[in-house]
Amino acid sequence: MEDSRSSNYRRREMKQLDMVYLMKVALHVKDMNDIQNIEMINKKCGIAINSLKVNPWFTSERDINKFCNIFNPPTCNCNLLPVDESVLMKVENIRNYELDSFCRTLKIVNADNQFNPQYQKMTEEEKERMAKIIQKVESMTYFSDIVEEMIELVVQNMKKGIKIRTYEVCAKKFDEIFDKMKIEESMYPSEMIIYGRINNNWIKARENKNIIIICETRGLIEQESEISIPKGITIYSSSILLVKPNNETNIKFVRSK
């Protein structure tokens, strides 16, 4: 009797492991054609696809839109693609969101992706749409020179633990607005990855936050610029001239191309 129960338990455990494996495989397929082919293999494969909590790493926004509309996962991985806003409004969480794609829907941005002098501010409807999206975002990038009120909307509506990747100019403006609005320090992004030359020494460490600087060193080498690196900040660079000796492990030297 004991052997029978043990055998049944092992079979159930193997089925669960099979399901986990199938779900992990499904997350890395190329497109919706692959998903549909896997789903048709057998019932177990179909259940695995329907059990996914996030869409696969598709390279086409069309496939992401289609998957989310058919299977309704709670999380949408945008993979930095311009996923339909209707999909983003429907899901509970958003990953790898590109804020620049939202900018292209605004009246203040023209067809050339430049700010339209005809419009000075976002409309209330645009602000409401953006706020609803940002409240769901777990990780995002923005590399265009977005207007200040957009950064304010991000700061006011971002989730605790959000991860952001951006340029130095945008990151500096983000920090200024975050401090000016006196937002609770625990709400600062859990990870901030900043691309830039960091010549102005404006970056400060944030308690229990992962701040990473990807340093564009060509300008630093040519101008022999000096930078001061606070503790708690990690810099990736091929060459840096330090203000004073630094024995910390927060500097990661990488090969330049």
Higher confidence at residue 229 or residue 115?
229
Task: Give domain limits for the chain.
Answer: 197-257
pLDDT in tens, 172-201: 999 999 999 999 999 999 999 998 876 556
Model confidence at 11: pLDDT above 70: no
pLDDT score, position 10: 44
Measure the CA–CA gap between 118 and 116, rounded to whole angstroms: 5
Reported confidence tier of residue 14, pLDDT bands at 50, 70, 90: very low
Average pLDDT, whole number, for the chain? 81
pLDDT beyond 80 at 228: no
pLDDT for 2: 47
Residue-wise pLDDT for 87-136, tens only, equals 999 999 999 999 988 988 886 655 555 555 555 678 899 999 999 999 99
pTM greater than the 0.75 cutoff:
yes
Q: What strands lie across the sheet with 139-142, from one edge to the other?
A: 97-98, 139-142, 163-167, 191-196, 210-215, 233-237, 251-253
What is the C-alpha to C-alpha distance for residues 55 and 52, in angstroms, rounded to an integer?
Answer: 7
Q: Which residue has the higher pLDDT, 141 or 206?
A: 141
Side-chain-facing half-sphere of 9: CA atoms under 13 Å: 6
Q: What is the mean pLDDT of residues 220-247?
A: 59
Q: Are 206 and 187 in contact (CB under 8 A)?
A: no
